[in-house]
Amino acid sequence: MTNAEMLLPHAALARALQEKILAKLPLALAKGRALNFIPYTVRDGEWAEGPFDRICWWTNGFWPALMWEAYLLTGEEPYRLEAQRAEEMLDEAFRDIDHLHHDVGFMWLISAGAQYRLLGTDASRKRMLLAANLLAGRFNPAGFIRAWNGEENAGWAIIDSMMNLSLLYHATDLTGDPRFASIAMRHADTAMRCFIRPDGSSNHIVVFDPRTMAVLDTPAGQGCAPGSQWSRGQAWALYGFTLSHLHTGRADYLATARLVADHFIAMAKQNDWVPKCDFCQSPDDPLVDACAGAIAASGLIELARASGDPRYCDSGAHILRALDERCSDWSASSPAILTRCTGSYHGNDHEIAMVYADFFYVEAVRKLLGDSFLFW
Ligand code: GLY
Rounded distance from Cα 83 to ligand 1 centre (Å): 22
266 three-class SS: helix
Q: What is the DSSP letter of 223?
A: S
- The preferred substitution site among 58, 231, 342 for testing ligand 1, maximizing ligand atoms within 8 Å of CB, is 58
Reference 179, options 128, 241, 117, 137; nearest CA is: 137
Q: What letter represents residue 63's amino acid?
A: W
Pocket of ligand 1 (CB under 6 A): 58, 103, 160, 222, 232
- Strand partners for 374: none
16-60 pLDDT tens trace = 999 999 999 999 999 999 899 999 999 999 999 999 999 999 999
Extract the residue ranges of the chain whose pLDDT is less than 50: none
Candidates 53, 86, 89; CA nearest to 69 is: 86
Task: Looking at the CA of residue 344, tell me the nearest atom of ligand 1.
Answer: 5
β-pairing verdict for 46-48 and 139-140: unpaired
> Please, are residues 92 and 111 in contact by the beta-carbon 8 Å criterion?
no
Strand-pair category, 46-48 with 41-43: antiparallel
What was the pLDDT predicted at 363?
98
Question: Looking at residue 34, what is its pLDDT?
Answer: 85
The C-alpha atoms of residue 287 and residue 350 are separated, in whole angstroms, by 8
**169 with 247: CB under 8 angstroms?**
yes
3-368 belongs to CATH 1.50.10.10: yes
252 is catalytic: no
Residue nearest to atom 5 of ligand 1 (CA): 343
| Length of the chain in terms of residues written | 376
Pairing of the two strands 46-48 and 144-145? unpaired
Catalytic residue among 44, 53, 98, 103: 103
CB within 8 Å of 343: residues ≥ 6 apart: 222, 349, 350, 352, 354
324 is annotated as an active-site residue? no
The pTM of this model reads: 0.98
For 59, 108, 208, the CA distances from 100, given in Å and listed in that order, are: 12, 12, 21
Nearest Cα to 170, choosing from 119, 122, 123, 108?
Answer: 108
> CA 190, CA 180: separation in Å to the nearest integer?
16
pLDDT of amino acid 257: 99
pLDDT at 168: 98
